[in-house]
Structures are given as structure tokens and as C-alpha cells.
Chains A and B, each alone.
Chain A
Amino acid sequence: MSDIKEKVRQFIISNFYVADPATLKDDASLLDAGIVDSTGVLEVITFIEGEFGITVDDAEMVPENLDAVNHIVAFVQKKKG
């Protein structure tokens, strides 16, 4: 779990050039913060598919799965079963 979270955080920080990692709250909306935009969501999906060997279905592209570090972590865990 902490391993997944660390990987997700590292990806968000470098891919979306977050200046101060401390400002990246695990439960905050990435869209609302402007860190991830509509195309950026596709980058998140590409990352978790490649990194964790899962496939994100169209129906799963919802904020509850993708719009915060914690959401992404929980989603990846669920998919990996």
C-alpha cells in the first residue's frame, strides 16, 4: 500500500511538476487544484496502467477513482485485487 502510494505521489510530483511535495495532499482533488487538467487525466491513466499492469475501463474514468492520490491508490489496490 505505502509502496503504491509512494509511486503515485512520485509520479504526480514529477509529471505535473509540483514544486513543493508538502503541498500535495493525498485526499485533495487534483483537478480542483489545477495540478491535473483534462488531458493530464489521460497521463495518470497511462501511468497506472503501465506501472501496475492494470487496465482502466471507460466506466472507471470517474473522479472517485482518479481525482486524488488516495483515490488512485484505492482504485489500483481494488483492481489488483
Chain B
Amino acid sequence: MCGIAGILNLSATTPPSRDALEFMAGALEHRGPDEFGLYLDRHCGLAHSRLSIIDLSTGQQPLSNEDGTLWISFNGEIFNYVELRAELEALGHRFRTKSDTEVIVHAWEAWGEAAFERMNGQWAVALWDEKTRTFVLTRDRVGVRPLFMLEHEGRLFFASEVKSLFAGAPTFSREIDPVGLDETFTFWTVVPPQSVFKGVRELEPGHVAVWRDGKFVHDVAYWSAKYPVGAEHRFNGTLDDATQALAGALENATKLRMVRADVPVGSYLSGGLDSSLVAAMAARAKPSGFKTFSLRFADAEYDETPYQRAMVQRLGTEHAEVVVSRKDIADVFPKVIRHTERPILRTAPAPLFLLSKLVHDSGIKVVLTGEGSDEMLAGYDLFREARVRRFWARQPDSKWRHKLLERLYPYLTRSPVSQQALTRQFFGRGLERAKLPGFSHETRWNGTAALKRLFAPDVTAALTGFDARGKLLSSLPADFAKWNFLAQDQYLEVRTLLSGYLLSSQGDRMLMGNSVEGRFPFLDREVMALANSLPASYKLKALDEKHVLKRVARGLVTDEILKRPKQPYRAPDALSFIGAERPAWVDECMSEAALKASGLFAPGPVGALWRKCLTRSNDEQFSNTDNMAVVGILSAQLVHQQLVRETPSTKRPPLKTVVIK
């Protein structure tokens, strides 16, 4: 795991600057503190910061083919690299290292853009073929590894993180893009290629972009999710067959992620079904000395300790825990936002940043997590809510259909269902649109978008005519309307929240912020293909979420975990920032001066919100709206402060590999 960066000349005629490349690599030190390297010729420069995991002795980058004409800078893992290597050797390719990196180089030579569909892994890759002056950027299927770019003064800059782009192009005009802010305050994240910075794009997951002779050729999807259309892409077996197939695919995915590493691999253990199952399967692959890591909360409402400990006891792992308080969240939050590089509406990433620090301090570089299961196998309440609302929409005047919603939200201490008629009003909105794309997400998107009333008048004016939902819903795959409703809902969830938030703000960034790589068995190529092919009823059986996965997990996780209602991972939000002992930066961010300086939010309404929050006591619940507002404003203010206003890094890393042509 690593950081990648580089510069490609488009219309510029002088070679890319070596200083710029060094600054770009230096800004990525947290992603790869072990070794640094760069490659530079007249047209292209590649930089790399390495976290050594596979082929520790010879896996340095940038790396080339045999004759030194094709160069790569790569962040990630190709889990089937051993199998691909054998195929390539049979085709006559010779290898100098034992790394997965070199496999990508030869795969590109052998198969071109078709190479990426063959790869099972998580990656961000830059390839430079100096003979044909072809430049390639590509990213894994769902966006586990990040990749950003901007164009400035006739050059394309690309990097794993935006701070590295800005370090390479310090004269680039850094500004928050109102469109990125609008998407964040609608979907809870920007949707790639959109970013929160003007002129900065994120390469879409599952895409490959190509330039030749400094000219853009195309940016296309080499992969897209396939859900059943008629008999096509459809799993034809029984539920038992599906259980068996999923168990096999998950076992294999977990094992691959355990053995394809030259350093020890540990696992997160949240106390929920997904990470417990992953840890159980991993522990089989490593019967002794397997390490697990758990997050505990000082606030009982969020804590899952008993479930975690029961699983630890069952597996006999070497276990470590970190207990997180509200104050911890407030203290670490500015650092967290330095890594997310985008506003967030929940504090949930912050505890995970503290957890990855525990992993790092325990000497572990790689952890497995259960992320992706809820999207692939339908674990979220949102899917159940959409099913109930569609069922209700068939008889909108029904006196009892909406009462099924009461089954959905038992964990909220103040559920909307405590007020029946209001529930009808809240969830019954737009029932006439039950068959239209986006229906599943309307409750969430409407509630979030209402917060746009906090935007500064200039931001609102800049957004005149912009419609975030319209933009997303007009870019759906051609087959979308032919998929069953659950598949449609899953697709939207993957496209928005999984890629843009869970895998980035709450995933890669929180892990790599402490130089730890996450691996995601549920996002394995074969697991995703199988999960997407399953009939909706295997995943969401009536209102039983992840039905087929629970069958897989029988006997592998404790009965308590199997039977417990799903508890979404959450952390204290606004409550983290209102206590008397809150750090000084909080009030600074909320001050009129700071709000005017960023120009993002209207000081009047924000002042009203903040005064309201400060008059609340520490054990009062905040509404979902207030929670999102506080966290969204604070994080956006920090993004502005840390990435827009601050001068970019000019840190130079110690270089190990330098190739100058």
C-alpha cells in the first residue's frame, strides 16, 4: 500500500519539475513511509511512496518492464497476481521481481486495457509507455484506492490524495466547488468524478483513462456492476446452493487476502456479523497468533464490547482494543479532516482513525474489514425501508402497511415511529414515485438537502440551476430500469455512499493516515459478481437483511451476533463538540470571522444553530438534522482552512529509487 503521484505534459514543452515530484511524494509520506522513488523523463514524471507488504526486498517503485520503456507507479494489491503471472509467463513474459506490481506492467503489455478486468484487487495505477508516449490511469472496481487529478499550466497532475496535487502545483487556484458542497449536502459525499475542489477530478471507480502524445484519448469503464436482467447474470440455484457458493467465494476471498502478503495480516472486529465472519474465516487460515482489533465507545449507546469479546473468546485471537470518548473525537477531528480532504456529515471516521493507530502501534500493516457486505448483500435499513415504502405505495390508504416501519428502527432511542401519524407524513412522502429511480434514497436525500439552507448566499447563487439528484440519476447505466428494485437501490448505495464515503473518508483515508492497509473480502471480484447475481429474496428475505449471509455465518460466529438486530456503526456526532472541555478550534471554526473567511455558510443561521447546540446538555439527544449540520459545517470549515488556505507541503522525502532520463 502506498501513495502514487506524477505529472504528464499535455501542452507544456519543458520537462515536469523534479522538485514538484518530490513535494508530491513528500505529501504522501503517511501512505508509504518505507521507501520513496521517482521516475522522470522529458514528458512524464512518476513518484511513489511505499508501504512494503509484498516482495519487501525488490518491490521498489517506480518499476519498469525488461527494457525500461514501460513504467508504473502503483498503489494497492492485485490478489490474483500469482495466477496472472503464470499466465503471462506462459505467454513468454519474463519477470525480475516477485511483486504484484510487475505483473501489472506485463499484463498491460499483453492485454492492454483488457488487463484490468482480469485483475482481482484494489488499486490505483499510473502507467507510462515512453515508446508510444501513452499514459494510463486506472482504479479498482468500487474505488477502494483513491486517485485524483487536475490540469494546470499545460500539465496533468495526478495523485492518491489532493494534498499531493496541491504540493505539485502550488500556484493552482485552490477553491471549494459549490457543486461538490451541494452533492455532499445531498448524498453525504461527492460522487466521482466530482470533487469538492474546483478543477480537481476523481477518476471514477472501475475506469481507465488514457492519454497519448499529451492528448486525452478516453476515460471509460472497464467494468460495471451486473445485476440480473431476465435470465442473464442470474444465479440459478436454490437458496442452499447460494449459501454454499457464497461461503466458498468468501472463504477464498479471505484466504487470498491473508496469504498474499509478506507481512502479518490482522482483522478488525466490530461485533457485527460482517467483520466477525471475516475474522472467523481468517482465523482458520492462520490458526495461531492471529490479531484482532476492536473499537469501544465510552458512550454505552454506541458500544458493542460484549459481542466483540464473545467473538474473541471463540476465535482465541490476540486482541487489542481502543476506547473512544467524545473528547477524543473532538481532539482528533482536525487531523481526520486533513486526511478525508472533504466535508463529512458524521464523525464516524474519527474513531476508525484512532483504531488504525492502534493497529499501527501493534506493528501490523494490513487488516481485513467487513466493509462492503451491507452493500453487496443488502444489510442496510435503507433497503428495508424502501421495500416497506414500495409495499405501502401499492395501497397508499392502507391503515397498517406503514406500521411495518416500526420493525425497522428499534435502535433509535427517539424513533419517528413513536409518533404514528408523523411517521406516515415523514416516510409517506412521494409514494407515487415508488417505481422511479432514487425512490429508495429520497428520505435520506431530502432530509440532508434541507441543510443547504445554511449555505452562504454566494454559494446558493452559484448553484442556481444545479440539481445534484438530476445529475446522478441521468448518469445511470442503460440497464438500470431493468433491474429489480433491490438491485437498483444497491447500485445507488454503492455508487454514492460506499465509494465516496465508506471506502474513502471512513476507509482508505483513516487507514492510510496511520500507514495501515485495509483489505475487503466482500469486495472481492468473485464475491461481488456472485452477490449481484443472486435473486433479491436471497439477500433481503421479506425484511430479513443479509439472509443468505446469515446462513453462511451459522456456526462460524456466535449465536448472539447471528440473532442481534443490525446496529449501524455510529459515533457521537454533535455531542462530541459541545462539552465545556471542547478544544478551541471548534469555536474558532464556528466564529463569524471564520465563516466569513471561508464564505461557505451564512453566519446568521449557523450562529442560531450553534447557540442552540451550546444550550443543550450533554445527555440530550440531537436531531439527525442538527448532528449533520454541526459535523458538516465543522468539517467543511476545516477543509477550507487546511487545504485551501494553507500553503501546500514542500517536504522532500528521502529518495531510494531515482530514474532520470
Contact = CB atoms under 8 A, between A and B. Distances in A.
A74 B656 CA distance: 76
A29 B453 CA distance: 16
A41 B625 CA distance: 12
Given A17-B606, A34-B447, A39 B425 contact: no
Interface majority SS (helix, strand, loop, mixed), chain B: helix
A38 B416 contact: yes
A14 B612 contact: yes
Interface string A38-59: 1111110000000000000010
B422 A31 contact: yes
B91 interface: no
A32 interface: yes
B414 interface: yes
Given A37-B447, A38-B415, A38-B419, A17 B623 contact: no
Given A18-B605, A19-B604, A38 B426 contact: yes
B623 A40 contact: yes
A43 B422 CA distance: 14
Nearest to B424: A63
Contacts of A17: 453-454, 605-606, 608-609, 612, 629
Interface string A7-49: 0000001111111100100000101111101111111000000
Contacts of B625: 16, 34, 37, 39-40
Contacts of A16: 625
Nearest to A45: B419
Given A34-B446, A39-B624, A42-B414, A61 B454 contact: no
A39 B424 CA distance: 15
B108 interface: no
Contacts of A20: 453
For B423, B612, B625, B629, which residue has the most chain A Cβ atoms within 10 angstroms? B625
Given A31-B425, A37-B447, A37-B623, 20 more contacts: A14-B611, A16-B625, A17-B609, A17-B612, A19-B453, A31-B422, A31-B426, A32-B429, A33-B450, A34-B451, A35-B450, A37-B624, A38-B422, A39-B622, A39-B624, A39-B625, A40-B623, A61-B421, A62-B419, A63-B421
A-B pairs, 10 with minimum CB distance: A34-B450, A38-B416, A39-B623, A17-B605, A62-B421, A17-B608, A17-B609, A61-B419, A19-B605, A63-B425
Interface of A: 13-20, 23, 29, 31-35, 37-43, 58, 61-64, 66-67
22 contacts: A14-B608, A17-B453, A17-B609, A18-B605, A19-B454, A19-B604, A23-B453, A31-B425, A31-B426, A32-B429, A34-B450, A34-B625, A35-B453, A37-B426, A38-B414, A38-B422, A38-B623, A40-B625, A41-B422, A58-B419, A63-B421, A63-B425
